[in-house]
Amino acid sequence: MRTERALEAAEGDGPRTRVVEVLTAVFAIGGYACTIVFLAVGFRSGRWPFPGGDVAVFYGPAGDALRGGGEVYFPGFLYGPPWAVAFAAVSWLGPWAIHAIVVALDVAALWTIAWGNWRRLGYILWFPLIAWEIAAGQLNLLIAAAIVAAQHGIVWPLAAMTLAKVWPAVALPLRHWRRFLIDLALFSLLSLPWLVLWPQWFETLVDTSSHPLGPVVPVPWVARAAIAAILLAFQRPWTRALAAAIVSPGLYWGQLVVLVAPISLWLARNDLPIEGSPFQLRRRSA
């Protein structure tokens, strides 16, 4: 009798499950459509210039300055010396090319954040700051992707992004600290011919931490750091990601897009750990 009731319940759940799957698929597709429409309208109307402000004002000029022997760490450029070298390698192509590269990296980053799950990516794309982030040409989506990848055991992207903003290192799973330090050292070697940039970078970070260059989230750093410490005590993938997302000394409003990392990790909490690459084609649960 109990077995028959279980079978009846399972059969009854079939149509309900299909309805839920259809609704979640529609919701996910809506996220894709929303982001595409925002980008299309924004670019076409000219409200979002291409190339974006950060690309034209910071990335390109910093790269040109390094190649030309000028001042790399002018106000607003806050990325580590290896990133200055990377920008110098592409800045001769012009701001349009730099922004196109960033957009391509953002697409890969979004797929990584969702860890190869198209529905989860659709849910994430409802986050309103994503379209703005892509249009601006900033690197926060790359940070979010690096944080997610680190929770899956791939730490070299987190090392690269730590050399961009420092605070992403907070999301490092402690068991991977040796590999992280090795990757950090390897990326740092890119700037070996320009060692003078390192003290300039540190000085810039200290100065900017006490004098932010724009409006920041009006929550004191001490309060955010205390919350981050509590989150880290739980040592869950999504709590580490959330701690990193809120602990930046100068938490600019645009940086809040990094919250897609803990959101995605929370949605995937029953999947972790998933080893390998998000670009491998295999079935994953939503």
Tell me, yes or no, whether 276 lies in a domain. Answer: no
Report the domain count for the chain.
1
Tell me, yes or no, whether 283 lies in a domain. Answer: no
Tell me, yes or no, whether 150 lies in a domain. Answer: yes
Residue 273 has pLDDT above 60, yes or no: no
Which pLDDT does position 68 carry in this prediction?
92
Tell me, yes or no, whether 5 lies in a domain. Answer: no
Instruction: Return d(Cα 205, Cα 207) in angstroms, integer.
Output: 5
Tell me, yes or no, whether 2 lies in a domain. Answer: no
Tell me, yes or no, whether 281 lies in a domain. Answer: no
Which pLDDT does position 283 carry in this prediction?
44
Whose CA is closest to 114, among 122, 126, 106? 122
* pLDDT range class, residue 277, cuts 50, 70, 90: low
Whose CA is closest to 148, among 192, 179, 117? 117
Tell me, yes or no, whether 277 lies in a domain. Answer: no
**Residue 98 · residue 62 · CB < 8 Å:** no
Global pTM? 0.88
Select, from the ranges 39-53, 128-142, 144-158, the one with the highest average predicted confidence (pLDDT).
144-158
Could you tell me the residue range of the domain that residue 169 belongs to? Answer: 15-267
Residue 81 has pLDDT above 90, yes or no: yes
Tell me, yes or no, whether 154 lies in a domain. Answer: yes
